[in-house]
Each structure stands twice: as structure tokens, then as C-alpha cells.
Amino acid sequence: MLRLFGPLIAPIVGLGFIAALVLAILTTSWEAEPPTAAHHFHLAPKPLHLASDGPLGKFDRQQLQRGFQVYKEVCSACHSARLVAFRDLQEIGFTNPEVKAIAKNWATEVPSVNPETGEPATRKALASDYIPSPYANETAARAANNNALPPDLSLITKARHGGAAYVHSLLTGYQNPPAELLEKFPDAKPSGTLHYNPYFANLNIAMPPPLAADGQVTYADGTKATIDQMAQDVSAFLVWTAEPKLENRHRTGIAVLIFLLIATTLAYMSYQNIWADRKH
């Protein structure tokens, strides 16, 4: 039996799968899918060049400190950065006393317990604390933002396609919906609490424009705080919050590659030497 049907088993199984696929193809509906507003009007992020780009990239600490200032004075009103501790800020050039002062004066206090009564309480942040969330929990955050949840920003430049360039484009991309959009897709008009932004996946974002005017923050180093400058600075800062070991990684990588290039050259010479008497 096996000798008779053995050679036929493979084609029969194959034809089963192929028949299922051919029938799927034949029953395909080729009606054009209705075009969506996002498909036509969504934009890829504008290019953004930061000092941390490229294999030799290093952070521009002045820029990170400016970016931190934007985060502190603007973003942190709604967005947490729960993976960043105040102590980490020493890595971007703040001194130990400065870090302690930043923690102590932070707008939100950290949750604590009243040592007398054991009741829930809050206390001023310490350098060892993580940056506290502006909201007690998700429900509170949604209640304060028309049911939208401001995402945590610690990893945002690694958690979105386009990374820092996306953040920069989103922050500077607010505009009025183009007339063409309203004409073709009347439903895409941002409703009540939403804002048109072509860099956001579905074009309508709940976050109101956070950087509304030049000079919204006053930089200590004298840099002019244009909207674009503030957006670039905070994007650079969020690259650091997402990847604080980036400089270490680049430095180690260069050393490892130099070592490997030398070792591989020696390995190649050894290979050639050993095979010198054998044609292959």
C-alpha cells in the first residue's frame, strides 16, 4: 500500500493547501478599499539632527538641560517620566545640590505615609525618588484630560516609529485642518476637544498644543526659546530618558569594533597561513 500511494501523499497534501488558497484568491473581493483621511494626510516625521545621532554621537548636555527645563515647566503638568530618578539628572550635568533642589521644589509631591497616624500622605521628593506622576492614577489622569491618557514619556522616543524626530514633528506640527481634508473627508474634522496634527497616526490628537508661543520658557543659557528650539531640546532630553547609556554604548562599540577588526585580521592571516600548503 505504502509503495503504491507513498509517492502520491505529498502531492495530495500540497494540492489541499493550494486548493484552499486558490479558492481564497478566486473569492477575493477586488473592490477598492475606501480611502481614509489618515492615508492621504498623515505625514512622516521631519528629519531631526541631534548630537546623539550616529555611531560617535554624544549628548549635548546644555541641550539636555534646556530640554529638561521644557519637560519640567511644560510637559510634566500632564506627563510622567516614571523611569527617571532625580539622581539620574547628575548625568546630564546638574550638580548634587542642584538635583536635591530640583527634587525638593518639584510641583508634585511623592506619596508617603504619615508616620504618626499611618494615613496616606505626601512628602517633598528626594534625589533618590523617581519623578512623580502629576496624577494619582490612570482614572485621575483621564478625568483631567477628557478621558485621554497622557502617556509616560520615559521611553517615548523608543516607543514610537520615528523616535525623537516624531516627538519634534508632533510638537511643532499643530495646524488648522487643510481645506482639502474638510472637503474630501468631512468626518475627519477634529471634534470638540481634539486637535489637528498631521504627524499623529489618526490626525486628531487629544493633547492641546503644548508649545504655544516663543519664549514660553526662559533659558538660563540665553538660547532663544522659539517653539522649534523648545521642541528640539525636549526631544533631545527624551532621547536621554529613553536611552541614558547611549554614550557608554557608542564608546564601548567603537572599542569592541577596533578589537574585533584586529583579531579578525589576525584570524584571517592565520587561516591563510595554515591553508597555504593546501589548495581548496
Which residues contact other proteins (rule: CB under 8 A)?
7, 10-11, 13-15, 17-25, 27-30, 33, 55, 83, 88, 151, 154-155, 158-161, 163, 201, 242, 244-245, 248-250, 252-254, 256-257, 260-261, 263-264, 267-268, 270-271, 274-275, 278-280
CA distance 170 to 151: 14
Largest CA distance in the chain: 89
Closer residue to other proteins, CB minimum distance, 5 or 17: 17
Q: What amino acid occupies position 23?
A: L
Closer residue to other proteins, CB minimum distance, 39 or 124: 39
**In 3-state terms, what secondary structure has residue 269?**
helix
Closer residue to other proteins, CB minimum distance, 54 or 93: 54
**In 3-state terms, what secondary structure has residue 73?**
helix
- Minimum Å gap between C-beta 26 and other proteins is 9
Closer residue to other proteins, CB minimum distance, 142 or 209: 142
User: Are the CB atoms for 159 and 79 separated by under 8 Å?
Assistant: no
CA dist list (Å): 143 to 72, 80, 121, 140, 147? 22, 16, 22, 5, 6
- Minimum Å gap between C-beta 148 and other proteins is 13
Number of helical (H) and strand (E) elements in the chain, helices listed first: 9, 4
- Minimum Å gap between C-beta 184 and other proteins is 20
Closer residue to other proteins, CB minimum distance, 220 or 254: 254
- Minimum Å gap between C-beta 150 and other proteins is 14
Closest Cα partner for 89 from 130, 150, 132?
Answer: 130
- Minimum Å gap between C-beta 235 and other proteins is 15
Query: Backbone phi, then psi, for 47, in 5-degree steps?
Result: -60, 140
Query: Backbone phi, then psi, for 266, in 5-degree steps?
Result: -65, -40
Closer residue to other proteins, CB minimum distance, 43 or 268: 268
- Minimum Å gap between C-beta 277 and other proteins is 9
Closer residue to other proteins, CB minimum distance, 117 or 248: 248
Contacts of 223 (CB under 8 A, 6+ apart): 62, 66, 229
Question: How many Å from the N-terminal Cα to the C-terminal Cα in the chain?
Answer: 48
Closest Cα partner for 148 from 181, 189, 192?
Answer: 192
- Minimum Å gap between C-beta 116 and other proteins is 30
Beta pairing partners, 113: 120
